[in-house]
């Protein structure tokens, strides 16, 4: 149990770090570019799949994980989004039932 909790803390820290690392895009509008957000989401999914011992167990299996990933990517607006909105969008993907 502690390994799972530690892992989820690490995932949240990585997500926050990704968001904070993108500070310069669209500074005048405070919007982050859609392409950069998509790249970060895909990188996050790759990290989850390659480091977690069973990344699909609490999210409904592999197909459900990739369905949620697909929905997340399509939910990013064409004009981009703010850091706060991006974090709100990521949270349900990272925090599944059972945690």
pLDDT, tens digit, 9 for 90 and up, residues 27-81 = 446 899 999 999 999 999 999 899 988 888 877 889 999 999 999 999 999 999 9
The pLDDT of residue 97 is: 57
Placement of tokens 């390994």 in the chain: 3
Which pLDDT value is given to residue 9? 66
Please tell me the predicted confidence (pLDDT) of residue 35.
97
**Entry pTM:** 0.68
Residue 3 is predicted with a pLDDT of 64
Q: What is the mean pLDDT of residues 68-96?
A: 93
The residue ranges of every structural domain in the chain are 2-94
| Tokens standing for residue 86 | 């991006």
70 to 14, 21, 66: CA distances (angstroms): 20, 23, 6
């Amino acid at each position: 149990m502690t390994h799972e909790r530690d892992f989820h803390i690490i995932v949240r820290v990585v997500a926050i770090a990704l968001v904070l690392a993108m500070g310069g895009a669209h500074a005048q509008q405070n919007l982050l570019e859609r392409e950069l957000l998509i790249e970060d989401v895909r990188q996050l999914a790759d990290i989850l799949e390659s480091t977690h011992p069973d990344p699909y167990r609490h999210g409904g299996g592999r197909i459900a994980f990739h369905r949620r990933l697909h929905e997340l990517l399509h939910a990013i607006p064409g004009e981009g989004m703010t850091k706060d909105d991006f974090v709100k969008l990521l949270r349900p993907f990272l925090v599944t039932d059972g945690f």
